[in-house]
């Protein structure tokens, strides 16, 4: 399983774009990159997943450079309701899952 490193916490003002970067230097060829969001006392919620280049959905964008050793989750125009913990996961297939401690995003009014 590829180990991931992401900032422990970030602050952002409402309406700004937030970028959270995750490092995964030993990502394997078959690994996907997945991001989850978790609110206090709730289970994590899948946000976005990608393998390479850029993926966009209604919630976020995921940027993956050609070497795939890092990835950036981009949240456009955050609101107070985006205050949560964001987890970067790397892997795929039938295997153990490691969430880590994630990035705590605090959106400030």
Q: Which residues bind another protein (CB under 8 A)?
A: 32, 34, 38, 41-46, 49, 87, 89, 91-102
Go through the chain and tell me how many residues it has: 109
> Distance between CA atoms of 89 and 54, rounded to whole angstroms?
16
Q: How far is the CB of 14 from another protein (least distance, A)?
A: 26
> Distance between CA atoms of 16 and 7, rounded to whole angstroms?
18
What three-state secondary structure class fits 45? Answer: strand
Which one, 69 or 104, has the nearer CB to another protein? Answer: 104
Task: State the Cα angle at 53 between 99 and 104, rounded to 5°.
Answer: 30
- Token representation of residue 3: 């180990």
Which one, 18 or 89, has the nearer CB to another protein? Answer: 89
Contact criterion met (CB below 8 Å) for 50 and 64:
yes
Which one, 96 or 109, has the nearer CB to another protein? Answer: 96
Which one, 42 or 81, has the nearer CB to another protein? Answer: 42
Q: How far is the CB of 10 from another protein (least distance, A)?
A: 16
């Amino acid at each position: 399983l590829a180990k991931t490193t992401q900032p422990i916490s970030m602050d952002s003002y409402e309406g700004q774009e937030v970028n959270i970067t995750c490092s995964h230097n030993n990502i394997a060829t078959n690994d996907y990159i997945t991001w989850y969001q978790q609110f206090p006392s709730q289970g994590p919620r899948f946000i976005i997943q990608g393998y390479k280049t850029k993926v966009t959905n209604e919630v976020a964008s995921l940027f993956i450079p050609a070497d795939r050793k890092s990835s950036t989750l981009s949240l456009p125009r955050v609101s107070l309701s985006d205050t949560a913990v964001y987890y970067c996961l790397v892997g795929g297939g039938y295997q153990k899952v490691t969430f880590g401690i994630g990035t705590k995003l605090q959106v400030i009014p």
